[in-house]
């Protein structure tokens, strides 16, 4: 595991190894969006397992931008102390702590957010909860919400932030030609569609400085024919690099999800299942890494240490994000680096299905999670 165990730097932040725990929504917070002792304990346990960096789950920049009723919040200063509680629990284990900041946009639920979802255009993701198109003034306010959220994350002691520009959340809806049909400065070609992210990155760098890294999570592939595909993802990554992003994190939304066509206009998921091959999105990371010099994070059913080591050895990515295997066995990093076999994730999607049912995340393998099973 020579490559996995080699330290790395994300901007000025030193990471002890190349394994990253990516954002996974838990439902362990409160309905007010606050950190709980259970949530802190969950992340502290992941950190003790030996991962190099943790990117905590999507934390919303607006009270009306929640994906679930239990989405964590960072939209006002009152959240800073609780988030500091979380950051310290991670960093106390020698693990770099990043936080994903997000707005659910067209995926937000009007039932618990109290208003109609907003999006770059009126193209719906949820057929039964269509969004309204944002005004330019609202877009500018959203840019400021993200910048102020990053400042709160910095004050809370996080080492950096990740902008959630994937999975058809709000920033993702700007990037995708499928959802973005605007004809102003925030639509049209790739330069227009990346504008909101580039403005957010610029605002963060101006307010905090260049030493606070900003990771961007983006799609390398989308299901719709007129969505993002790899050539477009490569250009998006180049533009984000030019804006000052510290890394790109390559996800996707093209894996079919049977039954989703009943309520989703894009019946696809970013969550590989038992039927999907290991390393499902690695080729996307590799394709983007070929055209940028900033670090690239690969993700997507990276099932074991040998696969993770091979991804790094072959130069397909600079860091490897492993999510659900660490939910199943938080000691996954320590075990693979010691040549031991971790408890295997079943890729059964129980974790995401429990959240879809309005419950905290559970796991069929790990019965010690706060949500139980």
Q: In this structure, what CATH number is given to the domain that contains residue 291? A: 3.20.20.70
- How crowded is residue 348: how many other Cβ atoms within 10 Å of its Cβ? 15
The confidence score (pLDDT) of residue 338 equals: 93
The confidence score (pLDDT) of residue 342 equals: 95
Nearest to 331 by CA among 92, 5, 48: 48
In a domain, 3, yes or no: no
Q: What is the pLDDT of residues 287-308, one digit of tens each?
A: 999 999 999 999 999 999 999 9
- How crowded is residue 175: how many other Cβ atoms within 10 Å of its Cβ? 28
User: Is the per-residue pLDDT at 373 higher than 60?
Assistant: no
In a domain, 135, yes or no: yes
Nearest to 11 by CA among 187, 244, 300: 244
φ, ψ of residue 280 in degrees (nearest 5): -60, -30
In a domain, 313, yes or no: yes
Q: Are 176 and 225 in contact (CB under 8 A)?
A: no
The confidence score (pLDDT) of residue 328 equals: 96
In a domain, 81, yes or no: yes
The confidence score (pLDDT) of residue 356 equals: 84
The confidence score (pLDDT) of residue 372 equals: 59
What is the set of active-site residues? 169
Q: Are 96 and 87 in contact (CB under 8 A)?
A: no
The confidence score (pLDDT) of residue 1 equals: 85
Nearest to 161 by CA among 321, 23, 28: 23
Q: What is the mean pLDDT of residues 259-271?
A: 93
Residues near 236 by Cβ (< 8 Å), separated by ≥ 6? 175, 190, 193, 194, 218, 228
User: Is the per-residue pLDDT at 118 higher than 70?
Assistant: yes
Containing domain of residue 86, as a range? Answer: 8-356
Q: Are 170 and 110 in contact (CB under 8 A)?
A: no
In a domain, 247, yes or no: yes
In a domain, 372, yes or no: no
Q: What is the pLDDT of residues 68-116, one digit of tens each?
A: 999 999 999 999 999 999 999 999 999 999 999 999 999 999 999 999 9
Q: Are 52 and 19 in contact (CB under 8 A)?
A: yes
Q: Are 269 and 253 in contact (CB under 8 A)?
A: yes
Question: Is the pTM for the entire model greater than 0.85?
Answer: yes
Say what percent of the chain tops pLDDT 90. Answer: 95
Cα gap 262→206, rounded to integer Å: 44
In a domain, 362, yes or no: no
Cα gap 122→14, rounded to integer Å: 42
CA angle 136, 212, 169 (to 5 degrees): 40
Domain count of the fold of the chain: 1
Q: Are 186 and 196 in contact (CB under 8 A)?
A: yes
H or E segment and range at residue 56 = strand 53-60
In a domain, 370, yes or no: no
User: Is the per-residue pLDDT at 286 higher than 60?
Assistant: yes
Average pLDDT in the chain: 96
Q: What is the mean pLDDT of residues 321-344?
A: 96
User: Is the per-residue pLDDT at 258 higher than 90?
Assistant: no
The confidence score (pLDDT) of residue 257 equals: 87
Q: What is the pLDDT of residues 149-208, one digit of tens each?
A: 999 999 999 999 999 999 999 999 999 999 999 999 999 999 999 999 999 999 999 999
Q: What is the mean pLDDT of residues 236-265?
A: 95
Q: How many CA atoms lie within 13 A of 126 on its CB side?
A: 19
């Amino acid at each position: 595991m020579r490559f996995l165990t080699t330290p790395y730097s994300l901007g000025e932040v030193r990471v002890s190894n190349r394994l990253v725990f990516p954002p996974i929504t838990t439902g362990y917070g409160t309905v007010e969006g606050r950190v709980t002792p259970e949530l802190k304990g969950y992340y502290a346990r992941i950190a003790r397992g030996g991962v190099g960096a943790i990117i905590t789950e999507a934390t919303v920049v607006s009270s009306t931008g929640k994906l679930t009723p239990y989405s964590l919040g960072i939209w006002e200063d009152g959240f800073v102390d609780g988030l500091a509680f979380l950051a310290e629990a991670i960093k106390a284990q020698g693990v770099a702590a990043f936080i994903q900041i997000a707005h659910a946009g067209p995926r937000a639920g009007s039932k618990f957010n109290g208003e109609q979802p907003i999006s770059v255009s009126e193209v719906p993701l949820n057929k039964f909860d269509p969004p309204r198109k944002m005004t330019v003034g609202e877009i500018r306010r959203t840019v400021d919400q993200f910048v102020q959220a990053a400042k709160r994350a910095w004050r809370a002691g996080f080492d950096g932030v990740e902008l959630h520009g994937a999975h058809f959340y709000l920033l993702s809806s700007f990037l995708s030609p499928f959802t973005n049909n605007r004809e102003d400065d925030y639509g049209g070609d790739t330069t227009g569609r990346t504008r909101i992210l580039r403005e957010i990155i610029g605002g963060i760098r101006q307010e905090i400085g260049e030493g606070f890294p900003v990771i961007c999570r983006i799609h390398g592939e989308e299901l719709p024919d007129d969505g993002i595909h790899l050539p477009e993802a490569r250009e998006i990554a180049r533009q984000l690099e030019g804006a000052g992003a510290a890394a790109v994190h390559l996800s996707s939304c093209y894996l079919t999800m049977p039954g989703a066509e009943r309520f989703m206009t894009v019946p696809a998921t970013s969550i590989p299942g038992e039927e999907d091959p290991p390393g499902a999105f690695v080729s996307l990371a590799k394709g983007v890494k070929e055209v940028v010099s900033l670090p690239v994070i690969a993700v997507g059913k990276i099932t074991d240490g040998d696969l993770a080591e091979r991804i790094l050895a072959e130069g397909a990515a600079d860091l490897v994000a492993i999510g659900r295997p660490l939910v199943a066995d938080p000691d996954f990093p320590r075990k693979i680096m010691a040549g031991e076999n971790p408890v295997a994730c079943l890729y059964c999607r129980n974790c995401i299905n429990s959240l879809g049912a309005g419950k905290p995340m559970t796991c069929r393998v790990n019965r010690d999670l706060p949500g139980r099973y």
